[in-house]
Amino acid sequence: MGDSFPIDIKLPELCFNIGEEPRSDVKINQFPNYDAVIQVKSILSVAEYERIKNSFLGPILKVINRGLMMSGKMVHYFLSRSLKVSKDNELWMHFGGQPMRFSIREFHMVTGLKCTEWGANEDQRQNRYDWANTEDAHTYEDLLDILQETNPEASDERFSLAMVILIECIFFQRYKGNKLPAKNLKRAQHLDVLANYLWGKDAYNILIKSVKKNVKLNLMKHKYDLHGYPLALHLWILESVPMLKSSFSTLSVIERPSAYLCEKNTPPIKVKSHIGGRRQTLISTIHPPDKHRVTEKDRFGREDRTAGQASGQKIGPASDATEDRLR
């Protein structure tokens, strides 16, 4: 008896027709400043930094400390398969004839940042610290100097200042020398606001607006900027297409099953042995955390790091032994 669930999904209009996707030899500029983590850690005591690790930034610090980086070519590959949808706050793509969604829900699943349920009036609070009592913007170097000079006994102030430096440098930095908005300094001075403010919503909005702009205007170029925290998009792709993980990351065996995606992934283990001179990856699922049946047509090949320029080829349920080079 046949399966009553329909397997043919009619996709919305494609941004780029199959076989006419943008070039794959591109460079994506991204702007998270991970050096700030090292600098903040060098200023704080062990106990102070441990307090930050136990905060909502803990999962993000894990993936940064493990050195997992975004694959620009893999992200570009999926962005070039974007779908035209009416929702400006969601990104839809197609792979193997199936739709994939990246929304604020998926962003939270990756980062663990708070994205909903904060409605307090933060504007009525009195300023507690001199560095927040200003309408002027500061660079993160300015705030590092202030953190260095802050009284070691003022643990809450040092924690608040260190947290806002890391939040801004990881999620909101738009270019080198970017100045931190005074409104975020004011939020960071109150511990309850710092812990509950929707930093995830702000970070997601920056990322999704940048992605949408690039899909519309810049994917045909040889280089473009991706603002926000694009590693979240990279990790979501790995979760949606699990068999890519063997090429781009390794699952951590020490994390709890309920851990956020940024906690579960570590840099990939290099494998020297190839089959027929080329490693191949089999796609087993599209929508996290659902599982889909694997077929031989859902194949994804990638060239070695030492190979030449990458080039995309046609994908889809009807293609046999599809091969697309990601690196």
List the domain boundaries for the chain.
27-117+129-241
Residue 8 CB-density burial (10 A; 0-12 exposed, 13-18 middle, 19+ buried): exposed
Q: What pLDDT, on a 0 to 100 scale, did the predictor assign at position 123?
A: 59
Q: What pLDDT, on a 0 to 100 scale, did the predictor assign at position 327?
A: 39
Judged against a pLDDT cut of 50, whether residue 296 lies above it is answered with no
Q: What pLDDT, on a 0 to 100 scale, did the predictor assign at position 140?
A: 86
Distant-in-sequence, close-in-space partners of 149: CB < 8 Å, separation ≥ 6 = none
Q: Pick 8 or 25 by higher pLDDT.
A: 25
Whole-angstrom distance, CA of residue 229 vs CA of residue 219: 18
Contact (CB, 8 A) for 302 and 327: yes
Mean pLDDT of the chain: 77
Judged against a pLDDT cut of 80, whether residue 245 lies above it is answered with no
Least confident of 12-21, 251-260, 304-313: 304-313
Judged against a pLDDT cut of 70, whether residue 316 lies above it is answered with no
Q: Pick 277 or 9 by higher pLDDT.
A: 9
Whole-angstrom distance, CA of residue 93 vs CA of residue 315: 13
Q: Pick 266 or 158 by higher pLDDT.
A: 158
* 137-160 b/e (C-beta count within 10 Å ≥ 16 → b): ebebeebbebbeebeeeeeebbbb
Q: pLDDT tens-digit profile of 86-139?
A: 888 999 998 877 889 999 999 999 999 999 876 666 655 677 888 877 676 788
Strand partners, 180: 138
Both tokens of 202, joined, read 């702000």
Q: pLDDT tens-digit profile of 198-211?
A: 999 999 999 999 99
Strand partners, 98: 95
DSSP string, 202-225: HHHHHHHHHHHHHHHHTTTSSEEE
**88 backbone dihedrals φ, ψ, rounded to 5°:** -75, -20
Q: What pLDDT, on a 0 to 100 scale, did the predictor assign at position 164?
A: 95
Contact (CB, 8 A) for 281 and 301: yes
Q: Pick 158 or 305 by higher pLDDT.
A: 158
Q: pLDDT tens-digit profile of 249-289?
A: 666 656 666 678 888 777 765 544 333 344 443 333 333 44
